[in-house]
Amino acid sequence: MEKVNVKRTNLPDLIIKHFEEMLVSGRLKPGDKLPTEHELMELFSVGRTTIREVLKSLSVLGVIKRTSQGTFVEDTSKMFLSPVGREIMMQQNNFEKIYEARGMLEAGLAGLAAERASDQELVELETVLMGMKSQIEGDNQAFIQSDIAFHQQLAKLAANEVLYNIFISVREMVIEAQTKVVGIPGIKEEAFKQHLAIYEAVKKRDRPKAETVMLAHVNNIKQYVSEA
């Protein structure tokens, strides 16, 4: 890594941005070992506190892994979250507020979908739901993908680009939550039943019901994640 001059305002964010540029260019790849803290301090001409803040943020995001052998690049995908999504991923210790926000967001999306989805879009949503059902006895990751596809399709049916983009920003958090709990016995069957109830409320154009069952679903996942 070459020495980098950074402006003296908002240093951690600027350094994280530089890491992102290095990942995009291929100068940093999964498995690469980062320089030591002292070397990073010299590279960016900043103090130890700033470097530790940067490394902590990257670690919380899952971009790097700190071991006794050094610090290594791990999962680069989370570097490319939107600013909203990145901030949420870095606030995962604020569990209650995150799920309160997710519940409000997804309940609102389900309610709007009940009012705005076309008949053809409902057919497409049912197809996604049946794909989820087909994975109950299958691979856990395939089930998670179909689960997320249902939520994303529902967000799309709300026909509000601002809310849809907010959902995309938090999608990584949703995936992480599902990954933590998908192996619990019986949870896939339970999740499918909850998604079926959401679909039926949306199909009936029952906005209050759609909002209620979606909020119950999010709270149910919250309970499982808190115990995982």
CATH 1.10.3210.10 applies to domain 93-227: no
Please give the CATH architecture assigned to the domain spanning 11-80: Orthogonal Bundle (1.10)
What residue segments make up the domains of the chain, in order of their start? 11-80, 93-227
Give residue 188's pLDDT.
Answer: 95
| Fold match, 11-80 / 93-227 | no
Give residue 81's pLDDT.
Answer: 55
Q: What is the per-residue pLDDT across 140-168, written as a single tens digit (0 to 9) for each?
A: 989 998 999 999 999 999 999 999 988 88
Highest mean pLDDT out of 15-19, 68-72, 210-214: 210-214
Question: Global pTM?
Answer: 0.65
- pLDDT higher for 174 or 44? 44
Give residue 147's pLDDT.
Answer: 93
DSSP letter for each residue of the chain = -------SSSHHHHHHHHHHHHHHHTSS-TTPBPPPHHHHHHHHT--HHHHHHHHHHHHHHTSEEEETTEEEE--GGGGGS-HHHHHHHTTTT-HHHHHHHHHHHHHHHHHHHHHH--HHHHHHHHHHHHHHHHTTTS-HHHHHHHHHHHHHHHHHHT--HHHHHHHHHHHHHHHHHHHHHTTSTTHHHHHHHHHHHHHHHHHTT-HHHHHHHHHHHHHHHHHHHHH-
